[in-house]
Every structure is written in structure tokens, then in C-alpha cells.
Amino acid sequence: MQDEQNIPYEDDYAYEMPDHAGKTIRRLWRSVSDQHGRLAVVLVSVAFYTLLSIYAPFYSVRIVDFLWNGIRSAHAQGTVFRVSWEQGGREIAVLLAVYTATAGLYTLQSFLMSSFAERLSLRLRTEISEKINRLPLVYFDNHKTGEVMSRAVNDLDKMSEALQTGLLRLFTAAGMVTGSLVVMFQMQVWLTLIFLFFMGLALLSTKLFAAKTLQLAARRQQCVSNVTARVEEAYSGRVIIKAFGREQNSSREIHRATEELAEVSRKADFLVNAINPAIRLVNRLGQVLIAVTAGKLLIDGALSVGTFQAFFQYVNQSAEPLTEGAYMVNSMQSALASVERIYALLDEPEIGAEPETAALTGRTEGRVEFRNVRFGYTPERVLMKDISFTAHPGQKIAVVGSTGAGKTTLINLLMRFYEVDGGTILLDGVDTKTMSRSWLRSHFGMVLQDTWLFEGTIAENIAYGKPDATREEIVAAAKAARVDFFVRTMPKGYDTVLGNDTENISVGQRQLLTIARVVLSNPALLILDEATSSVDTRTEMEINRAMNALMENRTSFVIAHRLSTIVDADLILVMENGNIIEQGKHRELVKANGPYAQLYYSQFA
């Protein structure tokens, strides 16, 4: 079938196949070295379980034949047939013990494998979450959030399930099928050949459909993610969607995604639901033929009743693992591909090692110097060629420039969210590369336009940078940020819980709350992204006042959008295409009549 729809399935199939199965298994094996003992117990238990499962029907031949012959001769003699401990009772007790032991071993190995898989998942999940903190921001620029989430959730779940049930079933199936076939051949070659013929048919159909079913399952997973993403987009962007009157477009897209999901699900469900009965039918046909042949052999006296029933026990216990084999191998491969993706994430290059001790101690003066800094987000595209400037303690540095000029990048480098490619950035005369990132960042307070408030009380949100702050300190910070009055109008004041998307708080108020957060953490240096159009003039004035109060005695970097607020700045950096094209005070720059002057006049023309 080479229709168009096969193309994405091919990709899905590649996604489900491990690239280096052997290497991944070896690494997985090494990483669970502390659990090798547990696995050894599982293996021994599986071996005994399989042996006993194969032995039980074999043993039952004697018992059934004894009972059958006993009943028949008692019937012929007109006596009552009795079982005593010496006459069959002991054998029956042994058989019962064997069956109980198999059940016990099965429970033991299931328990051990579950705890093995859960321990491994827990460890990998912890490693992933720790890894995420050590990944450079560049990684997140190049990978979608969903991708990382998928590693930590879907891939780990798939691996865990495969280890808990798949692996165990694969082991027992292999042992059970091999052992059963050996005994079956010894019992009756022809019956075994009939069984194998029908099994071959069933296996062939399973193999044909197993790959297709897996592809469809993977495709369905992608469709579910697609629908979720669209619904999430429609929910978070509801205001914009309404404002642009795009409701119909949005629901059309969701509709299209859900229709695709329904279509793929229909196919996947059909395959799963239709294939199993079809394979079972093939199995049953085989069993009917075996029963007829065995019946004839029985009548001819070539087969005993005991062997007849035992043979059927073997047929039953090996038919299912055999036909399931193809599915199991596929799902193990897909789980291995998941493990490979997890390892790929864990192997991503991390941010450089942190120096052990802080280069400076105590509060910093707040002198910042950029010396011939060179930087590009990607090696192919150098953004900043040669940036140099000095910010003296307590100064207000304004960074201006059109959109995409590199203002945010300058801050990203200052905070060491990204590492410079050349030159140095110094804090109080010390290269920031010699400091630990967390130490460096603890001296900065940031107020960005894109405020971030988390689910918790207003007090907790303000105290984010100083969790042990007293209520008095929190209120004092809110007062300094001119947000105390607003907080008091809230139903529970500082104990009002902010929801996830903080619907009930305006953009301006959110910004004031984040200013209060910075006031409380009292950093030596500040980074402020001025509020733009999203707040009304009165709120903007409030924010500016709060920011001005905050800037006193702190070295501050202000990303300015309205030049009217930075005429008093100690240094203005004018940026274009990642570089500083002019720097100086407002008056000097206006006098120079360069790019800044043009920008300034364009805003006030």
C-alpha cells in the first residue's frame, strides 16, 4: 500500500525504532548496576516459573491417565473408584503445589520488575529535572517545551511499562514456547507440526499488522498533541482571537485537528479490534484440526487421554505468547527508542562548570564593564562585534534602539544567560566568568515587561526572592512599589491567592508587584524593562515613580522605549544590529546630532 498517508507513518516508524539498540541496552544495564541482584533473582524466578509451567502438564499426563484408567476399570467392575494418598492423591497434591509455586513465582517476578522499573524511572526523572537546570538557554531556543516534557513524561512511561510487563512477558514467552515445543514434539510429532503450521499463519498476519498498529498508535499520539496544542492556543489567545474576529478560523483549526485524530483513532481501533479476533480464528482452526487428529489417534490407541489433555495445555500456553511475540518485540523496540531519546537529552552539552567559591564577597559596589564583547546566538551569525562601555556604581544606564537591535541580548550576557564568544564582562573589576552564575545573578534584580507571578498568595509572590521575609518587610516593599493600596482592596489582602493566569490583576498591577519583589530582595544592580503601551498613563506614571525610587543608589540598566524617561540617564547606549553605535549623555548625544538625536526627534516630532 503506497498511498500518500503512508509517508507520515514512515516517519513515525523511524521515531519508534532505536538507532543503536545494543549500545543503549549496554548503557541501561550499566546504569542499573545497583539493581543487578534484583534482576538476577527475577531471571532465576523466570527460569523456575517456565520450568514448572512446562513440567506441570507433563506431570499431569500420569495423573489423568491413572484417573481415567481407574474410573474405566471401576466402571467395568461395577465398583466405586477411590483416590487414596498412595493411589493418585500424592501426585495430585504435587501438581497443586507446582501450580501454586508458579503463581507465587509469577507474583514475585512481577513485584520485583515493577519496583525495578519504578526505581529506574525515578532516577531518570530526577536526572532529567536536574539536567534541565544545567542546560544552557541555547538548548531551549532550539527545542520546543513539549519536546522536553515528552522526554520526562511519555518516554519514561513507555520505558517503565516495557520493563514492567513487556520484558517479563518476552522472557517467559521465549522460555515457555521453546520448552513447550520440545515436549510437544516428543509427545506427538504430527500434532506439533499442525500446530506450528497454524502458528506460522497467525505469526505472519501479526507481523504484517503489528508494524502498522504501532505506526498508527504513534500517529494517534501526535494527533492528540496537536489537538491539545490547538486548544491551548485558542484558550491562551482567546482575547486576541476575539479582537481580530478569528473565532471561526480558530474553531476550524481545532475541528480539523480533531477530525484527523478521529480518523487515525478509527483506523487504529479498527486494526486492534479486528486483528485479534482474526488471529484467534486462525488459532482456533488449528486447534480444531489438532483435536480431530488427536481424537482419531486416541481412538486408534496411539494417544492416551492424559497426553491428549496435556498436549492441549501446551497448545494453549504457547499459542498466545507466540502470536503476541511480534507485538512485544515492536513495543520493546519502541521503548528502546524512548530510552535513546532520554539519553540524548541527558547527553546534551551543559553550561560550563561553576567556580567553587565566589570571586567577590559581600555586597558589590555595582561597577559593570563590557570590554570588547563579541557574541552570536549561533556560530554562523555574529550579532555583537565589539561592545565596550562602563557603568559606574549607582549610575543609570539606558539602552535604546529599534526592535531587534540587541538590547535584551546585552542583558542576557550581563546575567550570563548566554556566554560571550570574546572579550570580558567585569563586575567590580572581576571577570564575571570567574563567578558562579547564581552568585552573579543574586546581585541583580529584574523587572521585565513579561511579568511572572506564580500560583500562591500575593505575599508569597512578593517574597519570592527572600522567602524568609517578615510580613512587615513585605508590606514595606509593597508600599515602596506603590502597590500596597491596591493589595488592600483585594478580598484577602496580602493573603489573596493569585490564580495561574492571574486574570483578576491588570498588567500594570502585575508589574508593580514584581517591582515590590525586587525592592524586597534589595539587589545592588537592577535591570528594568520599561512598561510600554499595555498600561494606561496613570499606571505608567505609578510604575515610573516606583522604578525611579528603586533605582536610587543602584546601578541600573533600563531598556527604554520612551526617550522622555531617560533624559536624566548617566549613560545612554544606542544600539543597532547588535552593536553600540553611539554612547553618552542625553545632551551630548542630541548635540552630536547622530542616530540618537534622530530617534529622539522622531518621538517628539
Applying CB under 6 A, which residues contact ligand ATP? Answer: 141, 377, 383, 401, 403-409
> Whole-angstrom Cα distance, residue 436 to residue 7?
49
Residues 6+ apart with CB under 8 A from 334: 16, 17, 158, 162, 214, 218
Smallest separation, CB 388 to ligand ATP (Å): 18
Smallest separation, CB 398 to ligand ATP (Å): 13
Helix axes 167-187, 305-346, angle to 10 degrees: 150
Q: Is 531 in contact with 543 (CB distance < 8 Å)?
A: yes
Residues 6+ apart with CB under 8 A from 80: 74
Smallest separation, CB 355 to ligand ATP (Å): 25
Smallest separation, CB 399 to ligand ATP (Å): 8
User: Helix/strand/coil (H, E, C) string of 364-378?
Assistant: CCCCEEEEEEEECCE
Q: CB atoms < 10 A from the CB of 166, how many?
A: 22
Which residue, 377 or 389, is less far from ligand ATP as judged by CB? 377
Strand order in the sheet with 384-391: 384-391, 368-375, 422-427, 430-431
Alpha helices, DSSP H only, in 382-483? 407-414, 437-441, 458-462, 471-480
> Whole-angstrom Cα distance, residue 315 to residue 307?
12
Which residue, 48 or 418, is less far from ligand ATP as judged by CB? 418
Q: Is 181 in contact with 192 (CB distance < 8 Å)?
A: yes
- With H, G, I as helix, E, B as strand and everything else as coil, classify residue 140: helix
Smallest separation, CB 377 to ligand ATP (Å): 3
Which residue, 332 or 413, is less far from ligand ATP as judged by CB? 413
Which residue, 409 or 451, is less far from ligand ATP as judged by CB? 409
Smallest separation, CB 265 to ligand ATP (Å): 37
- With H, G, I as helix, E, B as strand and everything else as coil, classify residue 56: helix
Which residue, 20 or 562, is less far from ligand ATP as judged by CB? 562
Which residue, 89 or 404, is less far from ligand ATP as judged by CB? 404
Smallest separation, CB 572 to ligand ATP (Å): 14
Amino acid at 308: F
> Whole-angstrom Cα distance, residue 507 to residue 413?
27
Smallest separation, CB 532 to ligand ATP (Å): 10
Which residue, 408 or 548, is less far from ligand ATP as judged by CB? 408
Residues 6+ apart with CB under 8 A from 562: 530, 532, 603
Smallest separation, CB 432 to ligand ATP (Å): 18
Which residue, 18 or 401, is less far from ligand ATP as judged by CB? 401
**What residue has cell string 564582562?**
425
Which residue, 169 or 407, is less far from ligand ATP as judged by CB? 407
- With H, G, I as helix, E, B as strand and everything else as coil, classify residue 529: strand
Which residue, 54 or 446, is less far from ligand ATP as judged by CB? 446
Nearest Cα to 572, choosing from 400, 372, 426?
400
Smallest separation, CB 422 to ligand ATP (Å): 17
Q: Is 71 in contact with 317 (CB distance < 8 Å)?
A: no
Amino acid at 542: E
Q: Is 413 in contact with 376 (CB distance < 8 Å)?
A: no
Write out the H or E segment, with its range, that includes residue 445: strand 444-447
Which residue, 41 or 138, is less far from ligand ATP as judged by CB? 138
> Whole-angstrom Cα distance, residue 447 to residue 453?
12
Q: Is 365 in contact with 426 (CB distance < 8 Å)?
A: no
Which residues share a beta bridge with 571? 397
Which residue, 286 or 401, is less far from ligand ATP as judged by CB? 401
Smallest separation, CB 384 to ligand ATP (Å): 9
Smallest separation, CB 386 to ligand ATP (Å): 16
- With H, G, I as helix, E, B as strand and everything else as coil, classify residue 13: helix
Looking only at the bridges linking them, the beta strands covering 444-447 and 525-529 are parallel
Smallest separation, CB 382 to ligand ATP (Å): 11
Q: What are phi and psi of 346, to 5 degrees?
A: -65, -20
Which residue, 261 or 387, is less far from ligand ATP as judged by CB? 387
Looking only at the bridges linking them, the beta strands covering 396-401 and 571-576 are parallel
